[in-house]
């Protein structure tokens, strides 16, 4: 048998029969599990900016992947063409949070498993993954991280501000210090006690302190 005869074989041209009912059932489960992933993402989101577009894309990704896998499993030639088509696709959207990668792979896995006909595996696996993510999202690991920015006119004001900080927080690390003719700008990562931030008011009231700014910190500070 030659190479050309292989591609002329009826095996490559055959299409596995599937019923519209099976397609509707698969797409329905993909929609339900996609919405489940969407709700888990919304409930466990802890980043700075919540993206509704990304959350809705998880639902669409589950549906599209299911449809693609159903088509791929029905025809060998189509599966080879689909691999070639998908190999040239490039996604340029930046991933803002590490957990977004987990949800993207979760949505893809759901689509692949449902498209392959293993609906119980997709349902049971999604329930387990969702429960684990919710439990870990609610669990508090350490104190809340913040970034504190202080503007001082001289070194004495800086020392007084640092004394208050040392007595009011569990941990502090100076990330940057900028000295100019206008004064000193100090940036520090701090871990506050029981989310108490009233010490910032005392720092701002010090003589020589022109401004004190406290912002949330997602742990991705680039030094």
Give the residue extent of every domain in the chain: 3-138, 145-216
**Is the per-residue pLDDT at 59 higher than 70?**
yes
pLDDT at 93 over 80: no
- Distance CA(88)–CA(20), nearest Å, equals 30
- Are 77 and 12 in contact, with CB atoms under 8 Å apart? yes
Q: Under a CB-based contact definition with an 8 Å cutoff, are residues 202 and 164 in contact?
A: yes
* Cβ neighbours of residue 24 closer than 8 Å, sequence gap 6 or more: none
Q: What is the structure's pLDDT at 110?
A: 94
Give the pLDDT mean for 37-43.
92
Q: What is the DSSP letter of 48?
A: S
What's the pLDDT tens digit per position in 105-125?
999 999 989 988 899 999 999
Helices (H), the chain: 3-7, 10-13, 20-44, 52-72, 76-87, 98-115, 119-138, 155-168, 199-204
More reliable by pLDDT, 179 or 195: 179
Beta-carbon-side half-sphere exposure of residue 65 (alpha carbons within 13 Å) = 24
Cα–Cα dist 190/161, whole Å: 13
**Beta-carbon count within 10 A of 58 CB:** 25
Of the pLDDT bands very low, low, confident and very high (cuts 50, 70, 90), residue 79 is low
Judged against a pLDDT cut of 50, whether residue 29 lies above it is answered with yes
Sign, CA dihedral 37-61-95-50, equals negative
Chain centroid offset of residue 57 CA: 13
126: its two tokens: 């999604």
Cβ neighbours of 186 (radius 10 Å): 21
What pTM value is reported for the model? 0.63
Burial label, 124 (beta-carbon count in 10 A; 0-12, 13-18, 19+): exposed
Distance, in Å, from the CA atom of 12 to the CA atom of 107, rounded to the nearest integer, reads: 30
The CA radius of gyration of the chain, in Å to the nearest whole number, is 27
pLDDT reading at 222 higher than 60: no
Q: Which CATH number fits domain 145-216: 3.40.50.1000, 3.30.70.260, 2.60.40.1890, 3.40.50.300?
A: 3.30.70.260
Q: How confident is the model at residue 78 (pLDDT cuts 50, 70, 90)?
A: low
Task: Name the token pair of 207.
Answer: 């003589």
């Amino acid at each position: 048998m030659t190479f050309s005869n292989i591609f002329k074989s009826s095996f490559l041209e055959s299409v596995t029969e599937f019923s519209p009912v099976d397609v509707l059932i698969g797409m329905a489960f993909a929609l339900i599990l996609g919405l489940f992933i969407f709700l888990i993402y919304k409930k466990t989101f802890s980043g700075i900016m919540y993206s509704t577009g990304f959350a809705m894309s998880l639902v669409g990704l589950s549906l599209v992947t299911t449809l693609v896998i159903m088509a791929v499993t029905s025809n060998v030639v189509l599966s080879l063409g689909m691999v070639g088509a998908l190999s040239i696709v490039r996604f340029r959207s930046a991933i803002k949070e590490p957990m977004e990668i987990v949800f993207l792979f979760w949505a893809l896995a759901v689509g692949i498993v449902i498209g392959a006909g293993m609906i119980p595996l997709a349902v049971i696996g999604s329930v387990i993954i969702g429960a684990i993510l919710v439990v870990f999202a609610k669990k508090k690991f350490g104190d809340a991280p913040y970034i504190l920015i202080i503007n001082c006119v001289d070194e004495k004001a800086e020392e007084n501000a640092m004394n208050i900080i040392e007595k009011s927080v569990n941990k502090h690390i100076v990330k940057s210090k900028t000295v100019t003719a206008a004064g000193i700008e100090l940036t520090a990562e701090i871990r506050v006690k029981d989310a108490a931030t009233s010490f910032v008011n005392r720092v701002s009231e010090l003589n020589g302190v022109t401004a004190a700014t406290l912002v949330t910190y997602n742990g991705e500070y680039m030094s």
